[in-house]
Amino acid sequence: METATALWWAVVVSGIYHGVNPGMGWPLAVSAALMDRARGSLYKALAALAFGHLVAMAAILFPFTVLFWLVDWQREIQIGAAGLVIALGVYLLINPRHPKFLARVPPSRLALWSFLAAMAHGAGLMLVPIYLGICGILQAGTGHAAAQTLMTGTAGIAVVVALAHTIAMTVSGGAIAIGVYHWLGLKFLSRSWFNLDLIWALSLILVGVISLLTLH
């Protein structure tokens, strides 16, 4: 029970972390509201960013749900997922530049930008080891349940993980965006810009290593 609680907290904390990271888009929401001179544009932009992020999380998690048909290979699947996360973290350490194609997405298509940014930065992959850990606890609790029953349960978990993570991201990033728009203004945005690329890459590696160390 304590392990499951810790994993669910990891889902929420990773969402908060993604939301605070400017690379996930909250400055774009501020820019949209300032350009339109309308507070409503801020919330529309945040909603679009949240939708794109949610779709990206689902696109990463659901293929692993299908893999749970291979119940006897769960350990190998978790090792492979952890390896992918670590490899992406190492790649981002070596090549920290932001993908150029993101700059070609029109500002009006924030949902698409959010989806592509989450994919490019490995936001969904960070969730995979956590998700697999939660599913592993479900499998341990049900024993050798039928594959169909197990997959249905893991699909439901994928939905909840994606929603919980995205809500946490939207609340944290939205709080910063609202603060900048209403009180702190453009001077804060230009002078206090912070870059979390190094921490992002290291956190991916850390999540992957922890996943390997906690394998049963």
CA distances (Å), origin 26, targets 1, 62, 107, 179:
35, 26, 13, 11
Extract the tokens encoding 181. Answer: 């728009």
- The answer to whether residues 154 and 91 touch, using CB atoms and an 8 Å cutoff, is no
pLDDT of residue 53: 94
What's the confidence (pLDDT) of residue 55? 95
How far apart, in whole angstroms, are the C-alpha atoms of residue 175 and residue 194? 16
pLDDT of the chain along its 216 residues, tens only? 567 788 888 899 889 988 888 878 888 888 888 888 888 889 999 999 999 999 999 998 888 777 665 555 667 777 788 888 888 888 878 876 655 656 566 666 889 988 988 887 778 888 888 888 887 776 665 555 555 555 566 788 889 999 999 999 999 999 999 998 888 766 666 555 555 667 778 888 888 887 777 665
Q: Please state the domain extents for the chain.
A: 2-213
pTM: 0.82
